[in-house]
Amino acid sequence: MVLPSDISPARAAAPGARAWLTLLVLPLAVACSGGDERATQTAAKVNREEISVHQVNFLLQRRPGVTADNAPGMGRAILEQLIDQELALQKARELKVERDPVVQQALEAARRDIIVQAYLQKVGDAAARPSPQEVQAYYREHPALFAQRRVFTLHDVALEAPPAAIEPWRDRLAAARSPQELATALQASTLPYTARQSTQGAGALPMELLPRLAELREGQSLLLPQPGGLRVLMVTGVRTDPLSEEAARPAIEQYLVNDRRRRIAEQEVKALRDGARIDYVGSFAEATPAVGGAAK
């Protein structure tokens, strides 16, 4: 079961920041309807089916990077995607694709997940807003994210190979002191890889990486094992970019609320398990240890 996840305090957005989206997309519906005010809830008609403004707004509100300036254009792009989707959906219904057992199972799984997530979100709404003292404490306890925040320019390489194939090359990869030297070592290894350059603030990086990155000088790398291969993070530039407590407050408040929601959801699931009778059957009875309220 997927529980509501917390988000980095540097990425958190203030609540209600997109309340203006509906107002921005409504003119799109009027334009598509030829100015007919009675049709403002319809964004487009595809054969006999309608796509509503509410469908566009629903997806727009979940699209990252939406601003007051780009919302109308992004809303139009979403509408075009919905039109393509509707055309494919109509053809799928004509061919009775939804009767396929695999499709039915996928639909039921998605339905269960959406309902559970909505319930846990509702439970998490009881989370209290943090006090000014709690925000201040979080700010002071995480200087790497705020008062001493750094911005790293990284050469990020992902190798896709089994550990046995990578191991002979680890020392040479670690010894590289520039992206060019690293590329030479990778080409010599003939291992498949992808590389990209990125600039990321401390808040965008996993918390556990910050102390290790802070110890590196330009040209040094972290070698991080990952499923299916190895990740090489080479530091090619570092600059300081401190964030004041006042500027960080909205993000910290949202992060703390999200963290409380996550913990409330976890406690709710645990309470439900403790109050339920769960009997593992067949091979699961032999392989699965008792959890929560199992086999009461």
For residue 261, what is the DSSP state? H
CA distances in angstroms from 113 to 4, 29, 91, 105, 294, listed in the order given:
12, 31, 26, 12, 22
Task: Give SS3 for 89.
Answer: helix
d(CA 47, CA 88): 12
Ranking 64-78, 145-159, 162-176 by mean pLDDT, the lowest is 64-78
The pLDDT-based confidence of 7 (bands split at 50, 70, 90) is very low
62 near 74, Cβ under 8 Å?
A: no
64 — pLDDT class (breaks 50, 70, 90): confident
Closest Cα partner for 214 from 290, 127, 152? 152
Q: Express each pLDDT in 229-259 by its tens digit.
A: 999 999 999 999 999 999 999 999 999 999 9
Length of the chain, please?
Answer: 296
- The domains of the chain, with CATH numbers, are 8-98 (no CATH), 100-149+244-296 (no CATH), 150-240 (3.10.50)
DSSP 162: -
Residues 25-32, mean pLDDT to the nearest whole number: 52
Mean pLDDT value across residues 54-73: 89
What is the distance between the alpha carbons of residues 213 and 208, in angstroms, rounded to a whole number? 9
pLDDT at 4: 45
pLDDT of residue 10: 52
Q: pLDDT per residue over 180-212, tens digit each?
A: 999 999 999 999 999 999 999 888 888 888 889
Which pLDDT score, from 0 to 100, does residue 36 have? 53
pLDDT band at 63 (very low <50, low <70, confident <90, very high): confident
- Token pair recorded at residue 25: 């997309």
Q: Is the pLDDT of residue 13 over 80?
A: no
DSSP one-letter string for 172-188: HHHH--SHHHHHHHHHH
Q: Among residues of the chain, what percentage have pLDDT more than 70?
A: 83
Query: Mean pLDDT across the chain, nearest whole number?
Result: 86
pLDDT reported for residue 27: 54
CA distance 60 to 71: 8
Question: What pTM value is reported for the model?
Answer: 0.65
**3-state SS assignment for residue 15:** coil
Mean pLDDT, residues 268-277 taken together: 96
How is the beta sheet containing 221-226 ordered, strand by strand?
Answer: 193-201, 150-160, 229-240, 221-226
What single-letter amino acid sits at 145?
L
Q: Give yes or no for a contact between 181 and 157, defined as CB atoms under 8 angstroms apart.
A: no
What's the pLDDT score for residue 76?
93
Express each pLDDT in 115-143 by its tens digit: 999 999 999 999 999 999 999 999 999 99
What DSSP character marks residue 278? B
Amino acid 264 reads: I
Looking at residue 15, its pLDDT comes to 41
Range among 25-34, 85-94, 212-221, 287-296 with highest mean pLDDT value: 85-94
Q: What is the pLDDT of residue 289?
A: 59
Q: What distances in angstroms separate CA 100 from CA 68, 107, 197, one per listed residue?
A: 42, 11, 44
The candidate with the shortest Cα–Cα distance to 235, out of 156, 142, 125, is: 156
